[in-house]
Structure 1
């Protein structure tokens, strides 16, 4: 489902495209800095970061999300956008909302 939405390189398929995509997902799943990417598993962090930037600039992630939402809708798993989380004390720092006035 994901691979058809990832762009081809200028000279054809990109080697280890799945590995680079998984590296980007690992980075966001863990919240780690790019430099902490396990090189043995995913390759050099700078290569993965450059690929991520290219995909982000070219709208790859947006197209991928639209395709995944459409697929979920056809399967009956998506029922429209979810509402934003509700906040009672919007705009106040968590300590400020209990401060004396």
Structure 2
């Protein structure tokens, strides 16, 4: 976790955590086999059982980006896509 909290490269992780190669190998193995997912699920389950998680989620549509061609759509179907279909 030190690497991700500090943002350092794998080679710059302090020696007290072990060889950076071993740490990187273990990280990749755990990411691939689902260990991190299981750890997160277990932590969430414990926190949920203790009532420490509020599961209310709010999504603000202003953060949702439209497709790049959505800006061409005009009222009444006069955009580029309508012109292509008329040909």
Give the counterpart of 1:50 among 10, 25, 28.
25
What TM-score, normalized to structure 2?
Answer: 0.64
Residue in 1 aligned with 2:5?
29
Describe the shift of the 1:78–1:38 C-alpha distance in structure 2 as closer, same or farther (beyond 3 A). same
- Bigger CA radius of gyration: 2
Higher RCO, Cα 8 Å, sep 6+: 1
> Structure 2: which 5+ runs fail to align?
67-87
Describe the shift of the 1:34–1:71 C-alpha distance in structure 2 as closer, same or farther (beyond 3 A). same
Q: How many residue pairs align between the two structures?
A: 66
